[in-house]
Amino acid sequence: MQVVGFVGASGTGKSHRATWVAKENNIEFIIDDGLLIKGNNIVGGKSAKREITKVGSIKRALFIDKEHAEEVKKIIEESPQCSILILGTSVGMVEAIAKNLGLPKVSRIIYIEDVASEFEIKQALNTRKEEGKHVIPVPTFEIKKDFSGYFLDPLQIFRRKTKGTYQLVGEKSVVRPFFSYLGRYTISDYTIYQIVEYVTTTMEGVNRISRFRVTNHEDGIHMEMDLVLYYGYVIRPLLTKVRDKIVEEVEWLTALNIKSIDITAKSLVIDDSQN
């Protein structure tokens, strides 16, 4: 097993370039801020960016929590011949992560200055300082379930091949963690209701919503609703169609993760317009 460190000060663009560095060096896994990443998928761990305090974020990134560390260890043990890129703000941090995960000694260190220009590093630092944004090296779709209710911003990464041509390296996700909020991004329950109301009442077979309730949980939102349907439609397939459409539209418009939806067909009415 080969362990490589990718070192740079906080906010200099390590996560932004992690996928490219791993690809260029034939490295299979990336460890970044408490997450174990393979390709474009989060395969284990918990993001330090979800912690409420900066101290909690550092502990999560270092895998201080034994349960957290054991989860990632088990996944790595399934690929004993793999190579791993560990991101850290110092060589000491990279070595501490390797030790806490029971990995071999770090064999090589790649510094952010080796892969980014001084101008690019300054740009990254300004973005972190002025906007409080952090990058996770996976697509937004992959992390949506882990960051329900957070501000998510997809970022496509290109690499110049020749003059005027670019190669798409991959998609990253920009998040604003709790501890670096400059403001708060919220979506009101009524806004969610308006989206759901529009979706349901424009579907054939649905008359109206008679009751609606939404609650927010750590892993996503839960919806409950009663519907008044038109007589003459098969109820179960119709409710399945309604549920799928609500999930599609609400997640697309709000970046919220819908954990569950309970839909009840409360009553039936005759559609007079079809007489």
Verify that 109 and 237 share a domain, yes or no.
no
Asked if pLDDT for residue 205 goes beyond 90, the answer is yes
Verify that 82 and 147 share a domain, yes or no.
yes
Verify that 221 and 256 share a domain, yes or no.
yes
Verify that 171 and 249 share a domain, yes or no.
no
Structural Rg of the chain based on CA atoms:
23
Residue percentage of the chain with pLDDT more than 90: 37
Asked if pLDDT for residue 127 goes beyond 70, the answer is no
Verify that 159 and 245 share a domain, yes or no.
no
* Residues spanned by the domain of 101: 2-180
* pLDDT greater at residue 38 or residue 157: 38
- What is the domain-level CATH number for residue 143? 3.40.50
Verify that 219 and 147 share a domain, yes or no.
no
Instruction: Give me the chain's average pLDDT, please.
Output: 78
Domain boundary among the residues 180, 213, 239 is at 180
What pLDDT is stored for residue 154 in this prediction? 44
Verify that 160 and 264 share a domain, yes or no.
no
- What is the domain-level CATH number for residue 262? 3.30.70.1350
- Counting the structural domains of the chain, the total is 2
Verify that 99 and 228 share a domain, yes or no.
no
Q: Summarize the confidence of residues 116-143 as an average pLDDT.
A: 62
Domain boundary among the residues 145, 180, 215 is at 180
Verify that 28 and 149 share a domain, yes or no.
yes
Q: Which residues fall within 8 angstroms of residue 164, CB to CB, at 6 or more apart?
A: none
Verify that 117 and 153 share a domain, yes or no.
yes
Of 83, 89, 139, 137, residue with least CA distance to 112:
89
Pair of tokens at residue 159: 């690499």
Verify that 34 and 112 share a domain, yes or no.
yes
Verify that 165 and 234 share a domain, yes or no.
no
Burial of 18 (0-12, 13-18, 19+ CB in 10 A): buried
